[in-house]
Chain A
Amino acid sequence: MNKLTKSLSSFVVPLISILLAFLVGMIIMVCMGKNPADALYFLGFGAFGNAANFGTTLSKATPLIFTSLCACFAYRCGVFNLGGEGQFIMGSVAACYVALRSGITGVPAMILCLAAGMAAGGVWGLVPGVLKITRGQNEMIISIMLNYVATLFMGVVYTNWLRDASVPQTEAVPNETKLPRVLTGMRFTYALVIAIVVGLLIYYFLFWTSGGFKLRAVGINMTASRFNGFPVKRYILTSFIVSGAIAGLGGAAELLGTQFRLINGFGAGYGFDGVAMALIGQLHPIATMVVAVFFAALRTGSMTMQAGTGVPTSVSDIIQALVIVFTVAGMALTKLPQFEQLRYRLRSRKGGNAA
C-alpha cells in the first residue's frame, strides 16, 4: 500500500465508521418510536447550535483531549497506557491539595496546581513504566489496577481528608485560583488553550524531532530499535511518564477550570475514552484532538436531544462505542491481503474500461 492510499484510508475508515455508527443509532431511535431526524437536529443544535452550546462542547472536550493525548503518546511508543483515568485523578487530587492547602491564590497558585498535577500524573504513570521495563510486566493490567487505586484514594480525600463539612466532596477551589474563561458567554476556559498547546507540542515532538522519530521507531519495532542502539527501555519509561503527566495536567486543569471540587465520579471513564479517541484518530495527535471534540459534541448534544425528543443520552454512548468498534475493524479490514487484491482488481477493471 503506498503512502497516499494509506493516509487516505486512515481518514476514510473513521469517517465511514462514524456514519455507520450514526446509522445504527438512528435505527435504535426508530425502534424506540422516536423520530431520528428530530433527534439528530437536537443533537446538532445542542452541540453546535449557538455560541453557548459550542462553548459547552469545547469545555467538555478539554479533559478528553488530555486523556486521549495521553493514550496517543504512550501507544506511539508501543506501550498501552490504560491508566489515563488514574493519572488524571491523581493529577486533580494533587492540584486540589495545592489549591486548598497552600494558602496562595491567583496565577501563581494556578501554575503551582498545574505543575503539581503534572508531577502526580507522571508519578502514577511511572509505576507501570518501571514495572514494565524492570520486571517485564503487562503494563495494561498494572495501569488499570492503578486506576482503581487512584479512584479509591480520591475517595479518601473527598470523604475524609479534604471533606467539605457533611457533604462527601471537597471544598471548592478559591475563586481567584479558578482558570478564567477565554471568551465571555462561552464556557470553555484556558484549560482548552493548554490542551491545544500540549497537542501541538506532542505533534511537533513526534514528527519533527529526532527524539520523536526514535520514540515512534520503538513503537513500530522494538527489536529493530534495540539493534539500532536506541535506548528502548528509556524511551518506554519516558513515554509512560510523559503520558501520565499529560493526563495529570488534564486532571488539574479540569479541577481548576470546570469541576472546582473533587466529588464521586470525577474523571470516571475518561481514561478508556481517551484510548478510544486515540485509536479512532489513528494515533495522530491533531486528529485525536478533533475526535475528542467530536465525542464531546455527542455528549453535549445528547443532553439537548434527551430534553427535546426523549431519546436517552445513552444512545449517544452507544454511537461512540460503535465508532471505535467499527474503526478498529475497518482498519484491520483495509490491511487484509484479500482487500488489497479486491482493490487491485477493481482498479484494473476500471483501467480496462478506459482502454
Chain B
Amino acid sequence: MNTAFIANLILATVRMAIPLLLISLGELYGQRAGMVNIGLEGLAAIGSLVGFLVSFVTGSNWLGLLCGALAGVAVNMIYAFATVTLCADHTVYGMAINIFAPALASFIYRVYFGSGSELSQITLMRGVAIPGLKNIPFFGDLLFNQTPMVYITVAIVIFTAIFFKRTQAGLNYKAVGEHPRAAATLGISVIRVKYLACVICGALAGIGGAYLTTCYSNTYTEGNVAGRGFIALAAVIFGRWTSGGILLACLFFGFCDALQIRLQVGSFGIPYQFFQMIPYIATIVVLTLIGAKQAGPKANGKPYRREQR
C-alpha cells in the first residue's frame, strides 16, 4: 500500500464511476416519472457503438458523445411508445430493448467494419486541468485533471439534486411518478412528462455507453457495457432515488471495479476471474443488505391510461 497505488485506485474509481453515474441518472429521471426502464444495458450498448463509430469517422469525441446520446434517445422512443402509448409492461419491454439494441449495435459494427479480426481504434478524450484546484496537493492532480465528461457528469448530479428538491418543475415531474392521476388534475401533462423522461433517460444512458468508447477504452467490443446497465439499476435503488445517493452508490461500484483491476495486477496466484466477479458480487451483497425498504416512486412501472378512473 503506497501512495501511487492509492492514487491509481482513486483515479480508476472516478473513471469507472462516471459511465455508471450517467446511466443511473438517466434511470433516475425515468423512474421519477414512473418509467422503470430495465433496457439501460441495451441503450448503453447502442450509445457505445454509435459514439465509437462517429468518433472514428469524424475524429471528434464530442460529436461521438452527442450521436451516442441521440442513438439512445432514438431507441428509447420505441420503449416510450410501447410503454406510455400502448401501455406495455415496462419490464417486459425493457427486456425487449435489451435484446434488440445490442443486436442492432453488433449488426451496424459488422456491416461497417466487416468481420476482420483487426480492431479499429480511436483517440480518447484528453484530460483538462482546472487551474487553481489542480494545485491542491495529491488530490488536485487526481480529481481536477480529468476529462471534461467527468466535470459535466458532476454538474448533472448537482443540477438533478436542485431540480428535484428546489424547483416547481422538478416537483411537478416527481408528481407524475408518485401519483399520475393527481398530477393530471393539477394540469400537468402526464404523457408529455413521461415521454420527456424517456428522452432524458435515453440520452444519458446513450452518453454513458458512448463514454465507454470515447473516454475509457479506445475500441469497441461486443458486450463492452458488461452489465453496467443493470448495476446502474441497483445504484438507483442503493442511492434511494436521490442524485446524491446515486453519486455515492456509483462511486462505491466504481471503486469495486477499480479495485478488481488493481488486484488482477497483483494476482497472488488466484485466477483473475475471481477478481472480476467483485463488482457483480458487491451489487448482490449491497442489494441484500439494504433489503426491501422500497422508497421509490409510488406509481413506478404502472401504466397510465388517461380515461381510466
Contact = CB atoms under 8 A, between A and B. Distances in A.
B96 A325 contact: yes
A12 interface: no
Contacts of A138: 233-234, 237, 287
Contact of B100 (A80, A146, A325): A325
B60 interface: no
Contacts of B226: 148
A314 B86 CA distance: 29
A329 B230 contact: no
B91 interface: yes
B16 to A, nearest CB: 15
Contacts of A156: 271, 273-274
B103 A337 contact: no
B111 interface: yes
A241 interface: no
B96 to A, nearest CB: 5
Contacts of B185: none
B271 A160 contact: yes
Contacts, number: 137
A135 interface: yes
B230 A153 contact: no
A145 B231 CA distance: 8
Given A145-B283, A337-B307, A135 B271 contact: no
B86 A329 contact: yes
Q: Which of A141, A272, A335 gathers most chain B CB within 10 Å? A: A141
Range, interface on chain A: 35 or more
Interface string B63-94: 00000000000000010011000111101110
A224 interface: no
Contacts of A155: 271, 273
Interface in B276-309: 276-277, 280-281, 283-284, 287-288, 291-292, 294, 305, 307-308
A318 interface: yes
A352 interface: no
A159 B276 CA distance: 14
B287 A137 contact: yes
A329 B107 CA distance: 22
A136 interface: yes
Interface residues of B, number: 48
A321 interface: yes
Given A155-B273, A318-B104, A149 B280 contact: yes
Nearest to B275: A152
Interface string B225-247: 01100110110010000000000
Interface string A248-276: 00000000000000000000000011011
A129 to B, nearest CB: 13
Contacts of B89: 328, 332
Contacts of A321: 96, 99-100, 103-104
Interface in A266-302: 272-273, 275-276, 279
A215 interface: no
A164 to B, nearest CB: 16
Given A141-B283, A332-B86, A320 B276 contact: no
A336 B273 CA distance: 48
A196 interface: no
Given A138-B287, A332-B82, A144 B227 contact: yes
Contacts of B277: 148-149, 152-153
B267 to A, nearest CB: 12
A63 B164 CA distance: 47
Contacts of A148: 226-227, 277, 280
B103 A272 contact: no
Contacts of A51: none
Contact of A318 (B91, B103, B276): B103
A100 interface: no
Contacts of B308: 337
A328 B93 contact: yes
Contacts of A279: 92, 95-96
A324 interface: yes
B110 interface: yes
B288 A318 contact: no
B104 A325 contact: no
Contacts of B78: 325
A328 B234 contact: no
Contact of A328 (B96, B110, B274, B276): B96
B103 A314 contact: yes
B227 A145 contact: yes
A142 B103 CA distance: 23
B98 interface: yes
Given A312-B107, A317-B106, A140 B38 contact: yes
A131 B283 contact: no
A112 interface: no
Interface string A138-170: 101110111111001101100110000000000
Query: Nearest 4 CB-CB pairs, A to B?
Result: A136-B292, A332-B88, A321-B100, A321-B103
28 contacts: A131-B284, A136-B294, A140-B230, A141-B234, A144-B227, A145-B231, A145-B234, A145-B281, A146-B284, A148-B226, A148-B280, A149-B277, A156-B273, A160-B271, A275-B99, A276-B95, A279-B92, A279-B95, A312-B107, A314-B103, A317-B103, A318-B104, A320-B99, A321-B96, A321-B100, A321-B103, A328-B96, A332-B89
Interface of B: 38, 78, 81-82, 86-89, 91-93, 95-100, 103-104, 106-107, 110-111, 115, 226-227, 230-231, 233-234, 237, 271, 273-274, 276-277, 280-281, 283-284, 287-288, 291-292, 294, 305, 307-308
Interface of A: 32, 80, 82, 131, 135-138, 140-142, 144-149, 152-153, 155-156, 159-160, 272-273, 275-276, 279, 312, 314-315, 317-318, 320-322, 324-325, 328-329, 331-333, 335-337
